[in-house]
Amino acid sequence: MIDYGLADKVALVTGASGGIGRAAALAFSRSGASVLVSDVNEEGGRETVSLIEKAGGKAVWQRCDVSRGDEVKAMVAAAVAAFGRLDCAFNNAGINSIAANEYEDEVWARSLSINLTGVMLCMREEAEVMLAQGGGAIVNTASINGLVGNPSQPGYTATKHGVVGLTRHGALRWAKAGIRVNAVCPGVIETPMTAPLIANPQMKQVIEGMTPMGRMGKAEEIAEAVVWLCSDASAFVTGHPLVIDGGATAI
């Protein structure tokens, strides 16, 4: 893994109890950053903290439901209280209502509150700290479904399109203040979220067949891109939805 030179930096990761979020928290730590680990899953989140500490890194745990403004404010404050500043933020928490009818009122509202409102609330609080300290980098988790259509997931697709829009908004709003805002747009990645899909060998084969590279992505491959987007190696990159999909949207 590449060291992106984040020594003395502080990173915040939501949805960090597993999957892409955990992989990103570990990648931030390997590059030298202290990490605020957040999720609604306390057991998984504390396990992520333990993995970082066992590897010699620094991390703290803070539970946060990103759909609640008070909890988001407390999460960002906890990062500053623990480490003194906030340099990098990865707004990764989200849900995918694969088995549900997203046109149902409750399912639609939950998708919207977590996937879209949650990103907005995080950006708002993170930017306030970064503006006061003179800069920072924010990365949001969108999806290839934030760039193309999907006939079966209206809520997920709409919210991820919204995340791309919020990302571009933030990039323009804070560009001159030294805050860069980007998004990652993963294809189908092997994570706990996609486990129900790939549990069926035939479905897994179909998904792999839809990807020109012939396989699903790994959480660590998304994490590397996230840390790069938060590092000085991407100093002139902002407002960009970075597609990481094995060529799926190139078809």
Task: Give per-residue pLDDT as tens, 153-176.
Answer: 899 999 999 999 999 999 999 999
Q: Which of 192, 120, 198, 186 is nearest to 159 (CA)?
A: 120
Please give the residue range of the domain that contains residue 23: 10-246
Q: What is the model's pTM?
A: 0.96
Asked if residue 251 is part of any domain, the answer here is no
Total domains, the chain = 1
Residue 103: active-site member? no
- Catalytic, out of 61, 156, 174, 228: 156
* Cβ neighbours, 10 Å, residue 214: 10
Q: Measure the CA–CA gap between 228 and 234, rounded to whole angstroms.
A: 6
Asked if residue 1 is part of any domain, the answer here is no
Asked if residue 109 is part of any domain, the answer here is yes
Asked if residue 55 is part of any domain, the answer here is yes
Q: How confident is the model at residue 99 (pLDDT cuts 50, 70, 90)?
A: low
Question: CATH no. for residue 52?
Answer: 3.40.50.720
Task: Give per-residue pLDDT as tens, 186-208.
Answer: 999 998 888 877 888 888 898 88
